[in-house]
Amino acid sequence: MPKYISKQAKKAGLLPGSLTVIDTPKQSSVQIQAMQYDKDHIYESTVTDINTVLPLADNNLITWINIDGLHDPAIVKTVGDCFNVHPLILEDIVHVEQRPKMEEFDSHIYIVVKMFTFNEDKKYIESEQVSFLLCKNCLITFQESISGDCFDLVRSHLRAGKGHLRKAGADYLAYSLMDAIIDNYFVVLEKLGEIADQFEDAMIDAPNSVKLATVHRLKQDMLFMRKSVWPLRELLSRVQRSDSDLIDASSEQYFQDLYDHAIQIIDTIESLRDMMMSMLDIYITSMSHRLNEVMKVLTIIATIFMPLTFIAGVYGMNFGYMPELKWHFGYFMVLGLMFLTAMTMLIFFKRKKWM
């Protein structure tokens, strides 16, 4: 299940800038991918030693270094030493429960966003923090694990030399990767919307505790995404207003497009969240209606048997001088009276449309 509440208490007592790994998935090795390119050439490599790819950032090519796995703080510290990154930024990279934000410095810009994927088997969303370190002609991305990402289309465009990507700088590469993350939000929301549509009719026809648990989990997913997406507006707004030399003026229009997408995603999340709330109301209403129907049936049965019980109680008394006790057909007459009383009450209830 996704973590809806971050466990920041584990950081208590640590010195500021400590690179202590907290709640980061462990894996056998850190995978480091490097891509260098210009409009005419592209070079790729996959290594396990960060020191073999950091020197690549000193040439005139655009360099993208993607680091999958944060369980080795030494790699993060090496990157920080190479690019003179503040220790608090390195701490934010390792501690993966950050809200989306942007921090500007003279030599680099730090951006953190959440990447969501939909688990098809278990039908819930999974999140992963992605940190961007934008430097001159270089972009370094940090991911929590090597389980995969949504950057394959960007890699394909780089290899094929399509569009504006190979001709632009590292800031446009950062935009392209963030665009891939935000576009994937639409995919996740579409999956959640399909599940919500399936359960909306089911909650009316046959509400039960299993469906209620599913709707409650979907509601938690919506709240979790809302918490992660809302700060994107401020982040993207800051990027557009940035005076940093690392972001070219020509890229501002692209980040404006990302801002528009973020607003659309927020509207979609709010709509799905309202749908989840209405489905919970439908469940409560349906269960109340079913309970009322059961109580109505039980009340009708009890009402019918009340006069029958009275008659049976009267003739069950053991007084010696009751006039009907000696009647030859008295037993059958009392049964007939009870049957006639019950039928009269049923016809009355039917005409009143109480049943």
CB atoms within 10 A of CB 250: 12
Portions of the chain given CATH number 1.20.58.340:
290-351
Report the sign of the C-alpha dihedral through residues 294, 297, 303, 308, in that order.
negative
pLDDT at residue 1, rounded to an integer = 47
pLDDT at residue 8, rounded to an integer = 54
CA dihedral 93, 94, 97, 98 (to 10 degrees): -20
Q: Which of 168, 151, 152 is nearest to 38 (CA)?
A: 168
Residue ranges of the chain with pLDDT lower than 70?
Answer: 1-28, 146-147, 204
pLDDT at residue 14, rounded to an integer = 56
Retrieve residue 143's tokens.
């991911």
pLDDT at residue 139, rounded to an integer = 94
CATH fold for the domain made of 290-351: Methane Monooxygenase Hydroxylase; Chain G, domain 1 (1.20.58)
pLDDT at residue 214, rounded to an integer = 77
pLDDT tens by residue, 273-290:
888 888 778 778 877 888
pLDDT tens by residue, 54-92:
888 777 899 999 999 887 888 999 999 989 898 899 988
What gap in Å lies between CA 224 and CA 226, rounded to an integer? 5
pLDDT at residue 158, rounded to an integer = 92
Portions of the chain given CATH number 3.30.460.20:
19-286
Of 3.90.1560.10, 1.20.990.10, 3.30.460.20, 3.40.50.720, which CATH number belongs to 19-286?
A: 3.30.460.20
pLDDT at residue 308, rounded to an integer = 87
pLDDT at residue 27, rounded to an integer = 59
Q: What does pTM read for this prediction? A: 0.77
